[in-house]
Structure 1
């Protein structure tokens, strides 16, 4: 097996693990029972400290002082991930969990479009078809948000998704490992949250959940998901964020008995169906190309 295939498998494994870990993020934020900016401050601070400790231990163990931020582009990526954290947290407290995670599924659409525009990686017709149905699903959810008073939160979730896709695209274009840069980007939301808390006061009822989230869940998820673009394409990385789309509403439903509204369920079902069909098509297409390659170049 070629090094290219090995790297691709490594990227899928690392990114898949990060996507799975990330599904615990929103339930832990909700369990903390805190105010938006106080929660963001505690989460960002613990993530920042954990990332620095991991980098320090890693460097001492290997004897190589790996750069935390790989060049100027690393600061761009860190800033984008920082903005994503801020908008994501605002969305968490201003719309329903199901609305948020289904809208986050548009990450794949934005990533595909940005890769097409800036990296010249033109999406296939099947990808365009999946994008169309996903946009229909998100439109249903946003329309429901308009009628239920969650429009602001839904729009912030859309903004968060676009910024995240931009971060993935820039990481992919650089070809560098942005794992630590993404986590160091939490310095931006930490500074903004500290300013807001200084103005309005601090309020987190159960800080243990937020500390665990920042120190373990967010740190590991960001590290894995931000490393993915070094090995696999932006749209592929974005697909693993969709584990949150599928699993998080289930965890929230089980823990908080927060049932998604019927329009949200319809929109979410359309999104998930489009994604599953597109993923199955990608698997079939990749295997078909591999078989054709083996026939043309027999050993």
Structure 2
């Protein structure tokens, strides 16, 4: 985030590469029976382009906000997923999804609207 050191893109890329590598044996054992050639191409596209672009934009944006704010904003993604499913497919979210989403949205609203006290900067001499 804003006060952090370094670029988050290499660690994000490494984390996604490790996740893909470690889960590949399970995905590939089920995929041949479940995914056609075209479906596999779509999955590759979504994994590389769609997720890659999303992470690239997130890493660039997270540099511009404080760490707490970046964390709260990133919590909105899973909260909004049931909303997109409701809009796109008409599937109603369960009460626990609504309750959890309300807690996260309330935290984001409070963080956004309530003025935060400024901490005195300390410099070492």
TM-score computed with the length of structure 2 as normaliser: 0.66
Higher helix share: 1
Higher relative contact order (CA 8 A, sep 6+): 1
What is the correspondence of 1:70-219 to structure 2 with a 5 Å cutoff? 172=4, 175-197=5-27, 200-202=29-31, 203-204=34-35, 206-219=39-52
- Aligned to 2:114, the other structure's residue is in SS state helix
Number of matched pairs: 114
Deviations 1:28-47 (A, max 9, x none): xxxxxxxxxxxxxxxxxxxx
RMSD across aligned positions (CA): 3.1
Q: Partners in 2 of 1:218 and 1:225 — Cα distance?
A: 10
Q: Partners in 1 of 2:101 and 2:30 — Cα distance?
A: 37
Q: Partners in 1 of 2:108 and 2:71 — Cα distance?
A: 11
Gaps of 5+ in 2: 119-125
Q: Partners in 2 of 1:181 and 1:270 — Cα distance?
A: 29
Runs (4+) of structure 1 exceeding 4 A deviation are 227-231
Structure 1 residue aligned with 2:104? 271
Q: Partners in 1 of 2:79 and 2:59 — Cα distance?
A: 20
Gaps of 5+ in 1: 1-7, 12-170, 290-299
